[in-house]
Structure 1
Amino acid sequence: MSTTAKALEIARDDGLVELVGRGIDRSIRPIDPLYQVLKPSFRTYSVGDTTASFSTTTRSLRQYDFVDDMRSERDLITAVLDDVEPDDVFYDIGANVGIYTCLVADKLESGQVVAFEPHPEMFDVLQRNADQNDVSGSLQNVALSDHDGTVAMVSRGYTGHQLVSTRDETTLTVETTRADSLVEDGEIPVPDVCKIDIEGAEYLALSGLEETLRNSDCRVVYCEIHTEKIADIGGSPDRVEAFLRDLGFEIEVLGERRDNYFIRATRSS
């Protein structure tokens, strides 16, 4: 996307104040090292009645990808929070730095979050954010897939890491597991609500979650379907939707982002 097009998108979505703020950010980049010393360790964000604080220690705040995610996914975050009940078990599959993990945890009372993030650097930030927000639950440094083992992952920025079929010097090796294996072994409970955002590996993760999703307690699955990446990793958008329908879910398309789209799958009555 060109600089002009990005500016127009920001002005449309957030207004001129945000656009001017981005311009100021660019102008002060030369003094960013000083800012890194003086900035707060965490910054607080709210969505509706929920609030969480997120680490700013790894990169300058405005360069953090999760700041853009807070803006672009606010409607989706709101929808997820509306579906979560205080005593629910919430799976955050592809937790990254923990936006959903921490905001959902703020709404929970007796419930808990189970967050999955395979990238080691992102997992460290996730752990930091979870500790800051007193998240109750379990953090899993694994990639959910259709088998237990390992897989190659390539990292493209803070939110662009994805599984790949070949290994070379640009990839790292991460552990994979079936969620069904963890549930069967009693390591994690059955979820009530799931959110899946794993850069094209959604069909593989769902395949390893099949028996768990058959449990009637699991009533809602949110999933971002990456229409191009999924073909390279395994599966297809049609297979994802058919898989969920075969398990008794009804599919609703919530919106699009670039070549991807979001679905909400709810348990049929």
Structure 2
Amino acid sequence: MTLLHRAYRLFRSEGAGAVANEARKKFGGYLDPLYQLTKPEYKQYTVSDVSAEFDMSRHRLDRHDFVDDIRSERALIERVLSAVEADDVFYDIGANVGIYSCLIGDRLDSGRAVAFEPTPEAYDVLRRNVDRNDVPVETFNVALSDANGTTRMTVNGRTGHQFADGRDGTLEIETRRGDDLVDEHGLQPPNVCKVDIEGAEYLALDGLRETLGDPNCRRVFCEIHTEKVREIGGSADEVETLLRELGFDLEYLGDRRANYFVEASRPPERR
């Protein structure tokens, strides 16, 4: 199969973005050694009217990194930013290296962000980014789920982290039921919440029913992984049903391959 034919098939199945990403990985491999010698320790990114600096130590030209999500998710980041007020509490569930937490932290005044990230490597970078930007972010090295305990997770590159059963998982992580963690640490419920946790969204939301049911919780932005959520627990329909049961109206924001984004908004009369 020719290179052009492979590119065409990828375009038909996943779109122009996937083709561009594959080209970047292929040709970036040749340039990456030079890039590693010249790249900055931290790089500043600006979205809307906020800015933050991010650790570049793991960034490579031939591999997708979560810093790259600032480009690919810019419209969603802007949407979340538009929902956050300076005195809000923001929950970043699946924070990874803290893109949302640090950018939104720059928006906050008397408000606060709370970031949850279970994988040790990403959590270390998250802490460095929070410290670098001096933003009001409290961090927890846990995965939110429907039970307290431990589970195993597969780690595939920088972005393919998900719960796994038994010996399939390469990493053991701590899980916490969100409502219990909120009570234990005296955390305020969020006004705005973002959820991106590779198929564990139903489990996390199920463990946060009391917290997200607080009338002051106005918005929940959630990426629903339609295939992974069935493997891990629940379904896309169950995620939507749970959010509606908590008093939210749902708006579809677009999709990414087999996944899609929803914005759950609580109408003023339900606050």
Cα drift, residue 26 of structure 1: 5.3
Alpha-carbon distance in 1 for matches of 2:143, 2:97: 15
Mean alpha-carbon deviation: is it higher for 236-245 or for 25-34? Answer: 25-34
Cα drift, residue 186 of structure 1: 3.2
Indicate the SS of the match to 1:189: coil
Note closer, same or farther for the CA distance 1:217–1:36 as it changes in structure 2 (3 Å cut): same
Partner residue of 1:238?
237
1:196 paired to 2:195: yes
Alpha-carbon distance in 1 for matches of 2:18, 2:118: 35
State the percentage of identical aligned residues. 54
Indicate the SS of the match to 1:155: strand
Partner residue of 2:73?
73
Letter of the 2:206 counterpart: S
1:9 paired to 2:8: no
TM-score, structure 2 normalization: 0.88
Indicate the SS of the match to 1:263: strand
Alpha-carbon distance in 1 for matches of 2:111, 2:248: 23
Letter of the 2:176 counterpart: T
Cα drift, residue 3 of structure 1: 4.0
Letter of the 1:181 counterpart: D
1:102 paired to 2:102: yes
Letter of the 2:137 counterpart: G
Tell me the alpha carbon deviations over residues 208-238 of structure 1, each in whole angstroms, 9 at most, x when there is no partner: 1001111111110000000000000000111
- Gapped regions of structure 2 (runs ≥ 5): none
Alpha-carbon distance in 1 for matches of 2:237, 2:37: 49
Partner residue of 1:140?
140
Alpha-carbon distance in 2 for matches of 1:124, 1:61: 21
Alpha-carbon distance in 2 for matches of 1:54, 1:246: 37
Tell me the alpha carbon deviations over residues 81-118 of structure 1, each in whole angstroms, 9 at most, x when there is no partner: 00000000100000011110111001111111100000
Cα drift, residue 55 of structure 1: 0.9
1:48 paired to 2:55: no
TM-score, structure 1 normalization: 0.89
Mean alpha-carbon deviation: is it higher for 42-51 or for 140-149? Answer: 42-51
Note closer, same or farther for the CA distance 1:165–1:26 as it changes in structure 2 (3 Å cut): closer
**Root mean square deviation, CA, Å:** 2.3
Indicate the SS of the match to 2:185: coil
Query: Could you tell me whether the CA contact under 8 Å between 2:162 and 2:199 is conserved in 1?
Result: yes
Query: Could you tell me whether the CA contact under 8 Å between 2:199 and 2:226 is conserved in 1?
Result: yes
Mean alpha-carbon deviation: is it higher for 33-42 or for 198-207? Answer: 33-42
Alignment of 1:1-269 (within 5 A): 2-3=6-7, 5=10, 9-10=16-17, 27=27, 29-30=29-30, 32-60=32-60, 63-168=63-168, 170-268=169-267, 269=269
Alpha-carbon distance in 2 for matches of 1:96, 1:157: 13
Alpha-carbon distance in 2 for matches of 1:2, 1:69: 25
Alpha-carbon distance in 1 for matches of 2:241, 2:193: 17
Note closer, same or farther for the CA distance 1:223–1:10 as it changes in structure 2 (3 Å cut): closer
Alpha-carbon distance in 2 for matches of 1:238, 1:69: 26
Indicate the SS of the match to 2:211: helix
Alpha-carbon distance in 2 for matches of 1:104, 1:61: 26
